[in-house]
Amino acid sequence: MNDTNGTTRTCGLIGNPVAHSISPVIHNHLAALSGINLVYVTFPVEKSALHDAVKGAYALDILGLNVTVPYKSDVIPELVDIDPLAKQIGAVNTLVRVDGGFKGYNTDMPGLYRAMCSDGVKVEGEKVLVLGAGGAARANAFLLAYHHASEIIIMNRTIQKAQIIADAVKQAFPETAVKAMALNEFDKLSGNDYICIQATSVGLHPNDEDVVIADLAFYKKLKVGYDVICNPVETKFMKLVKEAGGEAHNGLKMLLYQGILAYELWNQCNITEEDASFVFRKMKEAMGIHE
């Protein structure tokens, strides 16, 4: 790791809680690999202090910040500018220092796309299911439309919530085929070649055996499944995808690439795939994942 000195720049993560974050491992290794004099730390921020935290970060010459739950939407009014994709999604996870304050970006979704590309999974022209109707589901639906999925189906227990997202995506991308569907209507899905993104917190540790849909018949309709969850490393959703003969991935690479994209924005640089692979190994070591 780089030694800090009087010219070391600081980046960090704001949210609550942040103590568990793997982001310092990502960014401090990236700094060492790229030879940039930068240190990345975590900043726990209470909700009532969010305005002061962003203002203070700018006053303290902080180069950039990541934003995690529960502030990805709450932070938007504190920004002096916002990237169009982040504005459409309605969530920001990366703040880049500009004149007068910070500009907001969403690197979560481009991060997932880069992870998919790394795994050899293409979105263009594919039929994709999104499980859930929260912020992650909304972001994923916009990502898929942006990258020209042929059909997007947002599946949720409460179909009205899924319909709100479908309508928003349709308004932003009128050419995209997008619709809402209740989870228990999966038997209406035609074919067995869907990509599915599990965009809920169901199955997150310690509830490792929970799953949004338990019926194996649903998983036989999937060729690829992505779970946004990183802990456990193999969720029940992933196990069912594999049991039905599909290819399954967790959210670790998405986490890696959202960090790399943020780092590239802050430092106006490009991280090689070789360095990305090295940092990915370091992430897994830090999480106690042994392959």
Identity of the amino acid at 157: R
Alpha-carbon distances, residue 150 vs 109, 145, 169 (angstroms): 18, 8, 13
Active site residue 103: no
| Nearest-angstrom CA–CA distance, 13 and 9 | 14
Q: Could you give the angle at which helices 108-118 and 252-267 cross, rounded to 10 degrees?
A: 120
How are beta strands 127-131 and 151-156 bridged, if at all?
parallel
135 Cβ neighbours under 8 A, 6+ residues apart: 72, 73, 90, 91
SS3 154: strand
First and final C-alpha spacing in the chain: 25
38-44 and 64-67 strand pairing: unpaired
Q: What is the CA angle 223-162-206, rounded to 5? A: 65
Find out whether 228 and 198 touch, Cβ atoms under 8 Å. Answer: yes
Catalytic residue among 72, 103, 239, 253: 72
256 Cβ partners below 8 Å, 6+ apart? 26, 111, 115, 276, 279, 280, 283
What are the E-state strand segments in 208-262?
Answer: 222-227, 247-249
Distance between CA atoms of 245 and 154, rounded to whole angstroms?
Answer: 23
Q: Which residues are catalytic?
A: 72
